[in-house]
Every structure is written in C-alpha cells, then in structure tokens.
Structure 1
Amino acid sequence: MKLFKYGLFIAMGMLLSCRFNPSNENKIKKGYNAELATKLKADQYGMSKYVMAFLKRGPVRNQDSITAANLQKSHLENIERLAEEGKLVLAGPFFDDGEIRGIYIFDVETIEEAQTLTQTDPTIKAGRLVMELHPWYGSAALKQINELHKTLQKQNVSEQ
C-alpha cells in the first residue's frame, strides 16, 4: 500500500509540474474534441472528479436465501436507476470472495452527495453491505460507458 501511495504522489507531482509549465500553454493535442470535452465536463487533461465507493461486507449477513436474493435484485435495480440518472458511471462486483464485494464510481462532486446516493441501496439499508467512499480523479470518458454498455448488453442483469 505504501508503494502505491508513493507512486500516486510521484504521478500527481508529474501532473502538477506539467500543469504549471508555461511551455505547455496553448498546446492542443491532435484529435482533441472540444465539444465532447465540454459535454463531459472534462478538464484540460480529459479528466473529471468522481467519488469511488468500495462495497464491503456489512455486519448483517444472516438473511435467508430468499431475502438475500430479493435484496440482490433490488440492489441491481438501484444500480440501474442511478446509472439512468447519470449519477453512477461504473459499477461491478469482484470475483473473489473477499471483504470488498464491488465498486461504484459516482459522477458527483462530493463525498456527501455519494453518501446520500448510497443510502438508496437496499443492501446498505439492510446492513448486508457498507460503503467506503473516496474522492477520485479519472477519465471523463467514463461518463459514456453506460451508453456504450447498453449496446453490448443482451440481457439486463437484474432480470436474471
């Protein structure tokens, strides 16, 4: 983890050194799409602020199988609703059986906004999952992933 944080600090330092380098002013990269960048609210690096959520095992995991299945179905329906509203740009489970069950990436400015959205999840309300929220900086192109996903999806995941 320390190595990751160290690497993150180096990357941020490099990013900031480029940002304040006067020789970089007015350089526009070939292929830059100003209209799309504006639409996606991208900064000059094509990036945007998000809030990343780690979905972790909650303290209440003793539901019977029918209740757990119903909670999971409602959880998936909530994910779809948040994606349709443009508040959730990415969600998915991890394949291992670890403590962290999945991730969300919210297209919101603050942890508080993301916290409010997490409270709409039935699995959070039931205590089956808890969320750990972190501000995150990533490609503004993520905001288009839900529309692209719809073109690849044969079946809706909540209809299983």
Structure 2
Amino acid sequence: MKKILLLFLMLCLVVSCKSSDANSNEVKPESIAKLKAELIKKGFQIFDYVDEKTQDTILMQQYYIAFLKKGPTRSQNKEEAAELQKAHLAHLGKMYKLGYADISGPFGDDGDIRGITIYNVPTLKMADSLANADPMVKAGRLIIEIHPWWAAKGFPLR
C-alpha cells in the first residue's frame, strides 16, 4: 500500500510540474501590457504585432549588436595578449551579470570580425559606451561596429 501511495504522489508531482511548465510559456495580455510599460519607462524602443497563426501578441524590442573587429594595434606580446583576453572576458561577464548584455561570443573563423555582443540597453549611445569600455577595445586590439537589431521578447535560441 505504501508503494502505491508513493507512486501516486510521484505521478501527481510529475503531472503538476508538466502542467505548470506548459502554462509558463503562455504570455497573458496583461503581462505583455505590463512589460511594454516597463520597457517604455526605461527608454527602450518597442512594437508589437499579433501572430496570424497563433493569435499571440509578439512584443519586439530593439537591442544593439556590437561586432568586435580586429583593431589596428595587434602587436602585443603573448603575455600582454593573454592578460587583455582575461580582462576582455571579465568585462563581458560583468556586462552579462549587470543585465547589459544577453549574448556574447567569438566567431569560429579567423576573419576580421572576431565576435559579437548583443546589448540589452535602451540607447545606441549606452551600447557604444559599454562596448568601448572593453579592455581589448581600449588597447586597440579590437574595434567596435554597432547596429540596432530587433528581436522578440522571450523567444529562446534554438
């Protein structure tokens, strides 16, 4: 009897978790309105539209993509370059921790564009300031090229 009761309780827990997971992806109109108001108050550029297939309201936000490109000063010795890389990664980690950057990463080739950072900030001026505070940029090893970019709020990478 104890085994059956334990199995029943575990089944209830699993079903309960699955139903709350299914509902967690639903965005209610009042939560979209609240999110829109918060973003507008913070100065973000946004717009929304209704998806024809799902009839869900999709909230779009402007982000800023910073392309990190090879800079003019790449003559640092191996130790200096390693220290700059360490400081660069610390800077990007800080941007992520503070909520200013959502995604950062290098490209997989050895081209002129070395990587990207997507800044989640309300203005180009702020994104530019944060990107140019990177120790690699200050040292001239990288330069920044920033572009506004729109993405739907809450949609994960796949």
- Which of 104, 126, 129 aligns to 1:116? It is 129
Secondary structure of 1:54's counterpart equals strand
Change (3 A) 1:138 1:68: same
- Alignment TM-score, normalising by the size of structure 1: 0.64
**What displacement does 1:139 show?**
2.3
Q: State the aligned residue count.
A: 115
1:6-155 → structure 2 map (5 Å cutoff): 31-34=26-29, 37=32, 38-39=34-35, 41=39, 43-44=47-48, 45-141=58-154
Structure 1 stretches of at least 4 aligned residues deviating more than 6 Å after TM superposition: none
- Alignment TM-score, normalising by the size of structure 2: 0.65
Q: Distance in 2 between matches of 1:35 and 1:128?
A: 47
CA distances 1:62-87 after superposition (whole Å, capped 9, x unpaired): 10000000000000000010111100
Q: Give unmatched runs, 5+ long, in structure 1.
A: 1-29, 146-160
Q: Distance in 2 between matches of 1:92 and 1:36?
A: 31
| Kept after mapping to 2: 8 A contact 1:110/1:135 | no
* Bigger Cα Rg: 2
Q: Give unmatched runs, 5+ long, in structure 2.
A: 1-24, 40-45, 49-57
The structure, 1 or 2, with the larger RCO (C-alpha pairs under 8 Å, 6+ apart) is: 1
Secondary structure of 2:149's counterpart equals strand
| Kept after mapping to 1: 8 A contact 2:132/2:144 | no
**Identical counterparts, % of pairs:** 39
Structure with the higher fraction of residues in strand conformation = 2
Two-structure CA RMSD over aligned residues (Å) = 2.3
Change (3 A) 1:92 1:109: same
